Amino acid sequence: MKRLRQIPALLQTIESSQGKFDVLIKNITMHAYIPESYGASFVRYIQRIVDMCPRVSKFAFASQCQLPPTARLPILKPSITHLQLHAAIPPAEIIDLLKIAGENLMWLLIYVPSSYQTWDVSKVCHLPNLTDLLIETTPLGNNHLTPFAQILSMPSLRRLTFKVDHFAQPGFELLDMENFTSFCRIHGHYLQFLHLQPNFSWTMRRYTASLQRLLDTCPIVDHLVLHPCAEPVAHSNVKWIDIWSPHPAAAESWDLLRQSLNKTAFPKLQRVRELSSGLALFFDVPTLIDAIDRQEDAFELAFHGIKVRHDVGFVQGQRHIDVDSIYGPGGEADDDNSSDFSFSSDESRDSEHSSRTNSVYSLRDLCHGTSDVDNYSSWESD
């Protein structure tokens, strides 16, 4: 639901169908902006929709705007297995949602913004069946990863994605990965898949990320997806490496990283694949697009303004809004005084950047027509 008027319209359709339509609904995704004046109505309508749909297993609040004080998310059914919370939901509300849906939850996407001051670490959320976790942060929100890790119990966690976001400023060219490492020190022992997803290209050119200590906390990971700004690393168990392609201005350091992905650093390595930065908007590219080993198996896809070609060792992607073509070498964003790198304060910088770029989307949902990426891309070009 991308428009406010769709919420009461859906409820009216369900109520008038006399039990014929509600059983067909398995996925509820909210993209709409909820104004403060509509908060109470939103709570009433969305709770009624959730209560009337017995087969709902996925709930996503994917709006990039915070809920107003007059609104809250619905009380979810224990049948929920997939939960996405993109926007800045208050910590207490997140904990309440996880306590209700936690028993059967298998897949979780959560956003950790900079505005969270404290987490109540005495309230541990047990998620016994959670296998997949995706975490979005802002540059300042990275500081809250450690307390967030302390409130979660995830014994079945096998796949973890970090949306890595950082502002490169003079004197801050190295991204501090300690908070990410602390998270994996608690939850990385049984990870098999680790993805360090980059943000858009204009934040990827002026910093490096040291990942070795983080990898050391994940002893059995076998599929690693590397951020293009990573320093060379090594691991004894990794068999498959995907690496996101770099911004052109960072190509030299990326070449050193790419050359280091060999049997010396990764004794069990079987496959290395490059992923086009044009697809970095989508968190599920590494798992959704299977690798190929023969050129005769190469294929192309085209949908919703996105073109994908998979050759041996390389997944190429193009969107009708391509940040590399806009902010290439020598372009506007290469200027040290450009707006992307000059902000009045950390808080305003964090807030502005997260509202523009800190969003992840599912390639699978886009194929099914449920992603909001088309609206986002059009807005991005304004």
Q: Note the pLDDT of residue 21.
A: 86
Which pLDDT tens digits describe the chain residue by residue (382 residues)? 777 888 889 888 988 888 788 888 999 988 888 888 988 998 999 999 999 998 999 999 888 778 888 888 899 888 899 999 876 677 778 888 888 888 899 999 988 866 655 666 667 889 999 999 999 877 777 778 888 888 899 999 999 999 887 655 555 567 778 999 999 999 999 999 999 988 765 556 667 889 999 999 999 999 999 998 899 999 999 999 999 988 777 778 889 999 999 999 999 999 999 998 888 888 888 998 888 888 999 988 887 678 888 999 999 887 654 443 333 333 333 443 332 222 223 333 344 334 334 455 676 665 555 554 443 333 232 3
Backbone angles phi, psi at 149, to 5 degrees: -60, -30
pLDDT at 352: 37
The answer to whether the CB of 112 falls within 8 A of the CB of 135 is: yes
**For position 252, what pLDDT does the model report?**
80
pLDDT of residue 205: 61
Q: Which pLDDT does position 20 carry in this prediction?
A: 83
Q: pTM of the entire structure? A: 0.81
